[in-house]
Amino acid sequence: MFQGETAITIDDKGRLAIPTAVRDVVARAGNRLVVTYNPYETGCLWLYPEAAWETVRDQVMAMPNVKKVVRNLQLKLVGSATIVEPDGNGRVTLPASHRHAAGLEKKAVLLGMGGKFELWSEQAHLAQIRQTIGEDEISEDMLDLRL
């Protein structure tokens, strides 16, 4: 289970270091991550442990792709999925196409989001944090939370 926020630097070769606090968890999960686009928000990539990714992939691909919204979800998640493995220094290399599409440059933020990581550009992350949840955005499920 991943949680927490870490400021990350992406080097000129497109590599980022997996935080030492979660390297063992990633290693125990097979030491391979799958990088794909966040289909809902720009400025963000998703990184799944490979086994968790396979479950998500299978669910998405089981959906009938006759609807455009499903086809787009399949393209953004499965069509762009790339396996990366940490090197001896715990770094993974992000594909240039993924970095460019998400607007990821030198400074980024890695968020542990339960079963996956979200990798945000610094600017997109700040904008997301500063966004206020409006009354019309609160779902019925959220009303019962005691935060």
Domain boundary assignment for the chain: 2-143
Residue 85 has pLDDT above 90, yes or no: yes
CATH level 3 topology of 2-143:
Chemotaxis protein chec (3.40.1550)
**Three-state SS at 96:** helix
* Helix or strand (DSSP H, E) at 9: strand 2-9
**Residue 137 pLDDT level (bands cut at 50, 70, 90):** confident
pLDDT digits (tens, 9 = 90+) for 95-117: 999 999 999 999 999 999 999 99
**Residue 140 pLDDT level (bands cut at 50, 70, 90):** confident
Q: What's the pLDDT score for residue 138?
A: 76
Q: Residue 36 carries which side chain, given as an amino acid letter?
A: T
**Residue 135 pLDDT level (bands cut at 50, 70, 90):** low
Residue 131 has pLDDT above 90, yes or no: no
**Residue 141 pLDDT level (bands cut at 50, 70, 90):** confident
Q: Residue 61 carries which side chain, given as an amino acid letter?
A: M
Adjacent-strand bridge partners of 34: 48, 83
pLDDT digits (tens, 9 = 90+) for 21-77: 999 999 998 999 999 999 999 999 999 999 999 999 999 999 999 999 999 999 999
Q: What's the pLDDT score for residue 5?
A: 95
Q: What's the pLDDT score for residue 147?
A: 67
Please tell me the distance from the alpha carbon of residue 116 to that of residue 1, in angstroms, as a whole number: 8
* pTM confidence score: 0.90
DSSP readout, 38-61?
Answer: -SS-SSEEEEEEHHHHHHHHHHHH
For residues 76-100, average pLDDT = 96
